[in-house]
A and B are shown apart, each in its own frame.
Chain A
């Protein structure tokens, strides 16, 4: 238990569409250990993003429990969930979701404001994070002036703004060409090397080569685990 940072027990997520309800997750259980790099794969509509949103405290399960560092997120208030997202979790999206009117540097500073980091410190930290993955001259560019690969690396720097231990990524290379994707994969491997827990939804075979584990999802349930090449039934 001590090593588990993420634990889902018999989780259901039921979406209501008009009068009908649609279960996107149907009794899913999963544990992820600290420092693990987990890839989540599965057909479209199988519930991968839904799962990631629950782990990221963006949403609450309809049934079952989601524990992050041993804390059940169902018991947290909206504000406490926001704090969790701010400090413990870093999000990376398929479509980058950078704030278009802010520069790369300012984007990286965005999560530091609610964390209460002083202004002078914010700038220093953001610059350091950006320069880990990108040439320094992009700092003052707006997202639209950057390539997709650069944007995604800015987004990763932003996800790291408050030094979270868990990084969640929903198809981070989905919108990138293979060369840009490679650079991004490189970055994730580096973060893994630092001992961060990474949970990533992906179809990219390249990434799955570096993962500790591949979790297959089908119809809102775990269909199986793939540990370093060895197959383990769900």
Chain B
């Protein structure tokens, strides 16, 4: 019998297309918002987790302005430290094949440091560089590969030019590409795909400096990380800041968590709006169809039959809106990271600045079902009152209604 009421309700919904579609859309937007937000936060969280695992949770970075070889030796001797390698970061404009990369991150590393940083490197072209003074460069995937045309655009042996110096004293340094890295993957807060790596000694040579500004440290095990961070902190005081990969991850996770509260609020509001929309639509429907409801009652429909009819109508709006919303939510979820990436493309940076987080949104079927369920539940609850009003209408009065 319920299936009969569903059929009748469907017919009356199609008779009021415009209003139904508008209400349906408000539900769809609510569901899509929830889905997209959950997918993003879950995706970011997951990406942070993966980065930690890929790089190794026992990794520690030391940020400083001036580090000497003896500082590195001192760090290596700290109990709990397995290894330490110096690095040099600089941010400058780089010219690659006629293209100007503004604020490009150039990382000076030893082959061993690179291995500690990325552990598993695949190349599209060329080779890694040795420990050398020669001006070589290993370019990240996003620099070496043309995504639009889907082909490699930087090749081994090609020269690139890097701006060095500041103010009126800017000169161009020529580097030769030794290799082009293959896609490393979506790393949350480090973006090796966007970095240009050069040999550490070459970086020192270009800058005319004997110091470093980074150390990558590996602790013997994860539980040694905290004590190593503390020792480094004690050793350098104000002059250096050790940060473990885990701390970076946690900081990001905290932000994500706070964001997800905000997003839950937004999702909640959009659901409230949707449910008010259904309430409004169904109240108008009930009022407009007073005579019709009187007729149903005169023909022998019981109060609960009328209740069911209106309830089914409202719930169907919720269900259809939910389905449309899932479609919109899935499409939106997949588009959002691409939009973020595109907008932040010029400002991409690895350690410095607010790094845009690379991630893949997570669309859990359970979350989709949950969002759909919430849409149905909310619409059912919002049509409960209109349905109740319809059910308790006095048939004689309803039939006299103009």
Return chain A residues, CB-CB under 8 Å to B305: 113-114
Taking A59-B396, A101-B12 as contacts, is the C-beta distance between A79 and B295 under 8 angstroms?
A: no
Q: Is there a chain B Cβ closer than 8 Å to A87's Cβ?
A: yes
Return chain A residues, CB-CB under 8 Å to B295: 93, 97, 99
Taking A82-B301, A83-B300, A85-B299 as contacts, is the C-beta distance between A113 and B4 under 8 angstroms?
A: yes
Q: Is there a chain B Cβ closer than 8 Å to A158's Cβ?
A: yes
Name the residue on A nearest B303 (C-beta).
A78
B309 nearest CB across to chain A (Å): 10
Q: Is there a chain B Cβ closer than 8 Å to A106's Cβ?
A: yes
Bound-complex Cα distance A114 to B15 (A) = 22
Taking A91-B298, A99-B295 as contacts, is the C-beta distance between A113 and B5 under 8 angstroms?
A: yes
Which residue from A82, A93, A100, A119 sits with its C-beta under 8 Å from B300? A82
Q: Is there a chain B Cβ closer than 8 Å to A115's Cβ?
A: yes
How many chain B residues touch A (CB < 8 A): the figure is: 25
Bound-complex Cα distance A97 to B295 (A) = 7
User: Quick check: B395 and A58 within 8 Å, CB to CB?
Assistant: yes
Return chain B residues, CB-CB under 8 Å to A180: none
Bound-complex Cα distance A99 to B299 (A) = 12
Which residue from B15, B292, B299, B395 sits with its C-beta under 8 Å from A86? B299
Return chain A residues, CB-CB under 8 Å to B8: 102, 110, 113
User: Quick check: B5 and A85 within 8 Å, CB to CB?
Assistant: no
Within 8 A of A (CB), among B373-396: 394-396
Taking A99-B292, A101-B15 as contacts, is the C-beta distance between A115 and B395 under 8 angstroms?
A: no
How many chain A residues touch B (CB < 8 A): the figure is: 30
Within 8 A of A (CB), among B351-402: 394-396, 399
B143 nearest CB across to chain A (Å): 62
Name the residue on B nearest A93 (C-beta).
B399
Within 8 A of B (CB), among A53-87: 53, 56, 58-59, 78-79, 82-87
Interface centre among A78, A82, A97, A111 (most CB of B within 10 A): A82
B297 nearest CB across to chain A (Å): 7
Q: Mark A101-132, 1 if CB is under 8 A from B, else 0.
A: 11000100011011110010000000000000
Name the residue on B nearest A116 (C-beta).
B1
User: Quick check: A87 and B395 within 8 Å, CB to CB?
Assistant: no
Which residue from B12, B302, B396 sits with its C-beta under 8 Å from A114? B302
Return chain A residues, CB-CB under 8 Å to B301: 82, 86, 114
Taking A58-B396, A59-B396, A97-B399 as contacts, is the C-beta distance between A110 and B15 under 8 angstroms?
A: no
Return chain A residues, CB-CB under 8 Å to B294: 97
Within 8 A of A (CB), among B242-294: 291-292, 294
Bound-complex Cα distance A53 to B303 (A) = 18
Bound-complex Cα distance A86 to B295 (A) = 11
Which residue from A53, A102, A111, A119 sits with its C-beta under 8 Å from B299? A111
Name the residue on A nearest B395 (C-beta).
A58
Return chain B residues, CB-CB under 8 Å to A110: 8, 296, 299
User: Quick check: A79 and B303 within 8 Å, CB to CB?
Assistant: yes
Within 8 A of A (CB), among B300-316: 300-303, 305
Name the 6 nearest CB pairs between A and B, nearest first. Answer: A86-B300, A101-B15, A111-B299, A82-B302, A97-B295, A85-B300
26 interchain pairs, CB-CB under 8 A: A58-B297, A58-B395, A58-B399, A59-B394, A59-B395, A79-B302, A79-B303, A82-B297, A83-B302, A85-B298, A85-B300, A86-B300, A87-B300, A91-B298, A97-B291, A97-B292, A97-B295, A97-B298, A97-B399, A100-B292, A101-B11, A102-B8, A111-B299, A113-B5, A113-B8, A161-B299
Given contact pairs A53-B396, A102-B11, A114-B300, enumerate 9 new A-B contacts (beta carbons under 8 Å). Answer: A86-B299, A86-B300, A86-B301, A91-B298, A99-B292, A101-B14, A110-B8, A111-B300, A114-B302
